[in-house]
């Protein structure tokens, strides 16, 4: 699907639907944190999500070495790309003829990775014009603009045709929307037998209620983190049947502990580390079948 073959896509895109969505569009239009841009500069894949996997201390070497900071940036980026690879591992059997949807696509790093892996078309939606322009600029640079396209569009109200999408995902973007509305929309455009995947942070019902750390993360990003229970309920209500649920909390802690030692800290590291450690917050992957 290119813009040429889908003229309706750009013509019918709804503007942010609520004052909250206008706030979120403004937030991401103005975002330029070095922790995201410097990591993206490593290989041109720009992410707005966190990392998983063990830290390669041998690759980092001596903290006193003048090249250490550069190696640290590369290592954090490697862990963030590993997170996206894990998400793509759960999309199922995607062919070059398929279309995928990235809901809340950020600067588009995961979309480029998906196209490279499957050769398919990838359509991304973000509320931010700046992000969509950035993602489309990267796709042009890579000469994959016929396959990878970012749109300024509300993920709850997309122009994708019913049943037209083989697989879709939210990578750390579900905490900006109502989950029932979100999964109803994925379920509408996914074909029966298609796959939905999310990697997200959620509060843990076993803890009781959102902890002070979870509240701090919400305030920091102007988002509203849901509980694990809410994900499963909203999926069940929208023909999405979980096939895999993985607790990635132990896999993401090394990323945060390493990031906390870097010069690129943003001040939110303590909240993630403490909430993951006290069990009030979990980093999870959920892959579901559209039935
Ligand atoms: C934390 S970033 C994640 C970006 C990307 N998934 C990644 O992994 O790099 C959150 C993204 O969600 C998008 N977003 C939030 N609410 C949205 C909505 N209602 N419709 C479309 N995008 C939305 C933001 O514009 C932003 O691009
Ligand atoms: C897991 C949770 C709760 C995520 C909230 C959404 C979010 C802001 C993700 C990372 O974005 P980013 O990469 O722009 O953030 P940072 O600047 O902290 O790296
Ligand atoms: Mg980041």
Separation of 33 CA from ligand 3 center, angstroms?
Answer: 8
In angstroms, the first-to-last Cα distance of the chain is 24
Determine the average pLDDT of the residues in 159-171.
98
Q: What is the pLDDT of residues 241-270, one digit of tens each?
A: 999 999 999 999 999 999 999 999 999 999
Neighbours of ion ligand 3 (CB under 5 A): 36
Q: DSSP H helical segments within the chain, as ranges?
A: 7-11, 19-30, 34-40, 57-60, 68-89, 109-118, 129-141, 179-189, 212-221, 228-236, 249-259, 269-278
Q: The domain that contains 276 carries what CATH number?
A: 3.40.50.150
Considering the domain boundaries, does residue 1 fall inside one? no
Domain that holds residue 206: 7-290
Question: Model's pTM, two decimal places?
Answer: 0.96
The domain tally of the chain equals 1
The share of the chain scoring above pLDDT 70, in percent, equals 95
Ligand 1 atom 14 nearest Cα: 104
Considering the domain boundaries, does residue 278 fall inside one? yes
pLDDT score of 11 more than 50? no
Give the whole-angstrom CA distance, residue 200 versus residue 235. 14
Q: What is the pLDDT of residues 172-207, one digit of tens each?
A: 999 999 999 999 999 999 999 999 999 999 999 999
Q: What is the pLDDT of residues 75-134, one digit of tens each?
A: 999 999 999 999 999 999 999 999 999 999 999 999 999 999 999 999 999 999 999 999
Nearest to 101 by CA among 83, 120, 127: 120
Q: For ligand 1, what atom is nearest to the CA of residue 107?
A: 9
Structure tokens given for 257: 């502990």
Q: Which residues form ligand 2's pocket by a CB distance below 6 Å? A: 33, 35-36, 48-49, 172, 175, 201, 217, 221, 223, 225, 266, 268
- Substitution site in 104, 110, 113 for ligand 1 pocket (most atoms within 8 Å of beta carbon): 104
């Amino acid at each position: 699907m290119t813009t040429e073959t889908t003229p309706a896509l750009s013509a019918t895109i709804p503007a942010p639907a609520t004052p909250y969505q206008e706030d979120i569009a403004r937030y991401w239009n103005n975002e330029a944190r070095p922790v995201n841009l410097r990591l993206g500069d490593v290989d041109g894949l720009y992410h707005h999500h966190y990392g998983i996997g063990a830290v390669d201390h041998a690759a980092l070497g001596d903290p006193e070495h003048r090249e250490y900071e550069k190696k640290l940036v590369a290592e954090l980026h490697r862990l963030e790309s590993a997170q996206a690879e894990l998400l793509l591992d759960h999309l199922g059997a995607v062919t070059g003829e398929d279309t995928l949807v990235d809901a809340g696509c950020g600067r588009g790093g995961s979309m480029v990775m998906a196209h490279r892996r499957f050769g398919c078309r990838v359509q991304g939606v973000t509320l931010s014009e700046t992000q969509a322009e950035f993602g489309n600029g990267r796709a042009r640079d890579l000469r994959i603009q016929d396959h990878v396209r970012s749109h300024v569009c509300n993920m709850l109200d997309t122009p994708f045709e019913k049943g037209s999408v083989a697989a879709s995902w939210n990578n750390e973007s579900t905490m900006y929307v109502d989950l029932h509305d979100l999964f109803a929309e994925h379920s509408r455009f996914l074909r029966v037998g298609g796959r939905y995947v999310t990697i997200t942070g959620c509060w843990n019902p076993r803890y009781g209620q959102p902890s002070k750390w979870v509240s701090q993360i919400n305030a920091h990003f102007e988002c509203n983190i849901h509980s694990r229970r809410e994900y499963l309920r909203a999926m069940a209500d929208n023909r999405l049947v979980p096939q895999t649920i993985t607790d990635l909390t132990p896999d993401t802690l090394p990323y945060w502990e390493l990031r906390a030692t870097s010069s690129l800290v943003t001040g939110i590291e303590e909240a993630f580390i403490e909430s993951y450690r006290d069990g009030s917050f979990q980093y999870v992957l959920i892959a579901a079948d559209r039935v």
